[in-house]
């Protein structure tokens, strides 16, 4: 396999459209119009997946290896890319590419998002991994898919206390409908190697601070901001912000989602014991969602 091709006979070779011929005077306007109307470079993947921790990457790669045409390739910006494709519910194909970001924080997530979009021009970006459960009924090994991300980092510190200036960004409606299709057909229940678990769809909190205190100021603030917050994690706010800042200039990406397996309850008991199981369940839900993510 050579060049920008996936295995399985799917040709994804493409490039920027070019304009050949003389340009003079008013013809420059016609050239500009032609370039504006011309399609951009062809997608090399319909869906890109970002992971942070090695355990998350292993779980995602294990799922991709079960799909068609799995291969690995070194991306120009450094990470190892993992590529495969699967069938969509409409009978077409969904090409998937995954890469692990360098650092587990919001800034690194925003940068990794931009680099992966530049490399593959996907329609959808998924952030797949682990998080802490904070919502009622959200248990360890369950999976939370975000319908919105609430950033808790922005704040003002005064002698009277800390005042947070949270902002919320909802996922694109077109993706919300696809997640609801999956939830309706599965009944919200999935089965992984460690047994049956529940999939939840709702808000998550995201920021640079790791939460490991049930009575932390961040958790109390999140409950006030939106009492239905289901989980907390440390990267989705960066992806949401990068998407928000780039979407006006690049309409190729339809949206993003974060899929979080619950490895702890963001309190004093926080540990690593359930990270592998949580990451595996998140990857399994990702695999179930992929066939819904083909768009015309």
**What single-letter DSSP state applies at residue 90?**
T
Interval 44-98: pLDDT, tens: 999 999 999 999 999 999 999 999 999 999 999 999 999 999 999 999 999 999 9
Q: Which residues is 151 bridged to in the sheet?
A: 167, 206
Enclosing H/E stretch for 176: helix 173-186
Q: Look at strands 68-74 and 155-158 and give their pairing.
A: unpaired
pLDDT for the residue numbered 12: 35
- Residue 10 in domain: no
Give pLDDT < 70 ranges for the chain: 1-42, 247-252, 296
pLDDT digits (tens, 9 = 90+) for 97-108: 999 998 888 888
The total of structural domains in the chain comes to 1
Length of the chain, in residues:
296
Picking from 114, 139, 112, 115, the residue whose alpha carbon sits closest to that of residue 128 is: 112
Report the CATH number that the domain containing residue 165 is assigned in CATH.
Answer: 3.40.50.1580
The predicted structure's pLDDT at residue 251 = 66
Predicted pLDDT of residue 19:
30
The kind and range of the H/E element at 59 are helix 54-65
Range of the domain at 67: 40-292
Residue 29 belongs to some domain of the structure:
no
Would residue 32 count as lying in a domain?
A: no
- The reply to whether 146 falls in a domain is yes
* Residue 184 belongs to a domain: yes
């Amino acid at each position: 396999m050579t060049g920008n091709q996936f295995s399985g006979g799917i040709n994804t070779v493409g490039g920027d459209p070019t304009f050949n011929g003389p340009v003079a005077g008013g013809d420059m306007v016609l050239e500009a119009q032609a370039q504006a109307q011309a399609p951009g470079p062809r997608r090399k993947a319909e869906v890109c997946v970002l992971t942070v921790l090695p355990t998350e990457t292993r779980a995602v790669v294990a799922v991709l290896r079960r799909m068609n045409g799995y291969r690995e390739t070194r991306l120009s910006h450094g990470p190892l890319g993992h590529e495969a494709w699967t069938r969509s519910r409409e009978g077409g194909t969904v090409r998937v590419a995954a890469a692990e970001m360098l650092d587990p924080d919001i800034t690194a997530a925003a940068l990794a998002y931009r680099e992966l979009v530049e490399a593959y021009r996907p329609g959808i970006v998924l952030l797949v991994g682990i998080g802490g459960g904070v919502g009622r009924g959200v248990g360890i090994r369950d999976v939370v898919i975000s319908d919105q991300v609430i950033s808790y980092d922005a704040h003002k510190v005064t002698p009277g206390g800390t005042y947070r200036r949270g902002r919320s960004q909802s996922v694109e409606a077109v993706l919300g409908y696809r997640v609801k299709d999956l939830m309706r057909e599965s009944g919200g229940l999935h089965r992984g190697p460690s047994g049956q678990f529940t999939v939840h769809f709702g808000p998550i909190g995201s920021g640079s601070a790791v939460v490991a205190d049930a009575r932390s100021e961040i958790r109390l603030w999140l409950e006030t901001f939106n009492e239905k917050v289901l989980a907390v994690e440390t990267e989705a706010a960066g992806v949401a912000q990068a998407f928000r800042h780039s979407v006006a200039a690049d309409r190729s990406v339809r949206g993003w989602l974060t899929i979080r397996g619950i490895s702890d309850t963001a309190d004093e008991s926080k540990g690593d014991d359930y990270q592998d199981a949580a990451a595996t369940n998140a990857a399994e839900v990702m695999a179930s969602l992929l066939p819904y993510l083909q768009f015309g």
